[in-house]
Amino acid sequence: MGKKKDKHSREDEKDLDATRRASRDDVDEKTAKKTEGKSGKKAEKKAHKKAEKKLEKQREKAKKALANLVEAADPVDGAPESVDEAVEQVLATNAHAVVADVADSVASTFVGALRVGPDVRLADIDPSSTPGFTGDRDDAEALMAAAAPEIAELQERLYAESRDGEGRSVLLVVQGLDTAGKGGIMRHVVGLLDPQGVAIHAFKQPTAEERRRPFLWRIRRALPEPGMIGVFDRSHYEDVLVARVDNLVPASTWRRRYGQIRTFENSLTASGTTLVKVMLHIGKEEQGERLAERLARPDKHWKFNPGDIDTRRKWEAYEEAYDEALAKTSTDEAPWYVVPANHKWYARLAVQQLLLDALRRLDPQWPAATFDVEEQKARLADS
């Protein structure tokens, strides 16, 4: 794989699974590369020293990270009461174990920090900011790794609950301009879930048939089954965004859609689907750099479309369209969260935590047995 790695793009490197990044294998792997070829004993000593140094650095990072986390989080059982206590714990043990406890209280922080209301204006939200979180990339990835097992159990409970074909579901709606990082959310947040309980739908330009139907027709057909976590990569919101900016329909039509969307989403939540609506908010400069990278690298050309630049040229029009869409459809039943996305690591952590918070509020339970357990044990015994 060594050779393969070289071919890897910077982004691929950045995109290594959060849990792997958070792991110290990374360190050793890098150390290993550097020391390859050197004579065994000497290189071993050297590799060891480096690992030592790195461990120290990690402790320092963890110390800082926890100070920040404890600041941000409301105190909960198991979480350190004070920065000092947290730091003590870090030094006494290691980052992960403590971060795991603190993590319990972080999700709700993101909900509070990212939810938007009728007065939202994207121009006023710094796409490089990290609301509710003062840690760095490593802290974010440690937190994501720490949250994964809880999310996994909640997802399995949700799935189990609807074994009989009836039950609740979650729908994660991901919106954002080109290069905002929707794909990264799929890979690194949705990718941490059990794929058996996930259904991703990417909505491209509507087909001829879809255009003949009401705009919600193709959306309804893609809704998650009971027990599932549905994920929309773009969604019915394109019908009040690109449809508006490019005048694909008369103004009277897209204006009517805000109300139709509210009604539709209310009926969804009423029938047991929890919506988590996320807008990945990047800056124009950052998008410029990301598009430039796609043009600079042959292994990224397939992701580029000349139309992306046409869209980019309508930046303000899209911002305006987003502002109105967010303002008119961020309801108590289905609120919008604007996630600053210039830092991919922040956006991924934020979306994971919003999903975690939604699952916690659902609090799914293992269903009771639909059979006589003792009777079945007896049957199994003589089978």
Asked whether the beta carbons of 130 and 65 are under 8 A apart, the reply is no
Question: CA-to-CA distance for 273 and 10, rounded, in angstroms?
Answer: 38
Q: Please report whether residue 49 would count as binding a copy of itself according to CB under 8 A.
A: no
Closer by beta carbon to a copy of itself, 251 or else 380? 380
Smallest gap from residue 41 Cβ to a copy of itself (A): 8
Q: Please report whether residue 113 would count as binding a copy of itself according to CB under 8 A.
A: no
Amino acid identity for residue 128 in this structure:
S
Closer by beta carbon to a copy of itself, 131 or else 167? 167
Asked whether the beta carbons of 84 and 294 are under 8 A apart, the reply is no
Question: CA-to-CA distance for 344 and 243, rounded, in angstroms?
Answer: 28
Q: Site residues for a copy of itself, window 62-101 (CB under 8 A)?
A: 77-78, 88-89, 91-94, 96-98, 100-101
Binding string, residues 272-291; x marks residues near a copy of itself by CB under 8 A: ----------------x--x
Closer by beta carbon to a copy of itself, 118 or else 195? 195
Binding part of the chain for a copy of itself, among 36-44, 64-72, 166-174, 320-328 by CB under 8 A, reads 36-44
Asked whether the beta carbons of 231 and 193 are under 8 A apart, the reply is no
Binding part of the chain for a copy of itself, among 20-28, 127-135, 245-253, 334-342 by CB under 8 A, reads 20-28
Q: Which one among 124, 252, 302, 363 touches a copy of itself, defined by CB under 8 A?
A: 302
- Written as six digits, the tokens of 326 are 């967010």
Q: Which one among 166, 271, 292, 316 touches a copy of itself, defined by CB under 8 A?
A: 292
Smallest gap from residue 18 Cβ to a copy of itself (A): 10
- Written as six digits, the tokens of 279 are 């807008």
3-state DSSP assignment of residue 273 = strand
Longest CA span, the chain: 76
3-state DSSP assignment of residue 23 = coil
Q: Site residues for a copy of itself, window 117-176 (CB under 8 A)?
A: 145-150, 152-153, 160, 163
Q: Please report whether residue 306 would count as binding a copy of itself according to CB under 8 A.
A: yes
**Non-local CB neighbours of 282 within 8 Å, separated by 6+ positions:** 127, 176, 177, 179, 180, 181, 290, 341, 342
Q: Site residues for a copy of itself, window 242-271 (CB under 8 A)?
A: none
Tokens 């990224």, located at residue: 300
Q: Site residues for a copy of itself, window 175-214 (CB under 8 A)?
A: 183, 186-187, 190-196, 198, 200, 202
The rounded radius of gyration (Å) of the Cα atoms in the chain is: 23
Distance of alpha carbon 167 from the chain centroid: 24
